[in-house]
Amino acid sequence: MNKSRGDTSNPVTGSIEASSSGDPLEMDDALLVARAQAGDVRAYDDLVTRHRGRVYAMIRSMIHHEADAWDLAQEVFIKAWHALPRFEAKARFTTWLFRITHNVVCDFTRKRKIESAGEFNDEIFGRDRIDPLASTAPAETESPDASLAHGELRAKIEAALGKLSEEHREAVLLKDVQGLSYKEIADAMGCSIGTVMSRLFYARQKLQALLKDEYDAR
């Protein structure tokens, strides 16, 4: 990240922006990871507490289902525990967690597609199978309670995200919300930096088109 990164300081992702090699949080992560790798379950519990919010928010933004996001976030941390002996400090623990998150969400959506194949069930019909630019694409509406809780704008953002393909949605969330670098996103998604750039470009373009009214008003 260059020095001008401070101009774009993200109030939500501030801790991530500061996650350079000398960041105390990263150093604490490294210590906790080392202890957890030695079998210290309490250290791993601290790691879960520290990162559960980001993992859960990422999954929830990806699949738009609170209960499923809760279960999948659990699965991420359980898989991470089993894979922890193979974790090397070459990457940030956060990036590594997002890599596992990517795999868990991909497995989930793949299974959901298989289960919903040939069915006309509105509840399990994959929204990412609908062309985002189709004039008849249904709007993603939340329940009144949820809409009140999250705010109308938040609902519109989520609706717009729901109209992106899975890959475009993940790229824009990892970059613009979680603050990962291109290299880290490529590692997390298992693709090249060029692919990340391409996905991010189209994802932003689509989102700006979908949120044109709100974006221009701000």
Binding site for other proteins (CB under 8 A): 1-5, 7-8, 10-13, 16, 39, 41, 44-45, 48-49, 52-54, 56-57, 60-61, 66, 69-70, 73-74, 77-78, 81-82, 153-154, 157-158, 161, 172-173, 175-179, 181-182, 193-194, 197, 201, 204, 207-208, 215, 218
77-97 burial: b if 16+ Cβ within 10 Å, else e? beebeeebeebeeebbbbbbb
Q: How far is Cα 134 from Cα 198, in angstroms, rounded to an integer? A: 22
Q: Least CB distance from residue 61 to other proteins, whole Å?
A: 6
Identity of the residue, 2 or 135, whose beta carbon is nearer to other proteins in the bound complex:
2
Residue-wise DSSP of 107-138: HHHHHHHHHHTT---TTTS-GGGS-TT-TTPP
- The least CB distance from residue 134 to other proteins, in Å, is 23
Sign, CA torsion 110/135/141/204: positive
Q: Which is nearer to other proteins, 48 or 104 (CB)?
A: 48
CB of 136 to other proteins, least distance (A): 26
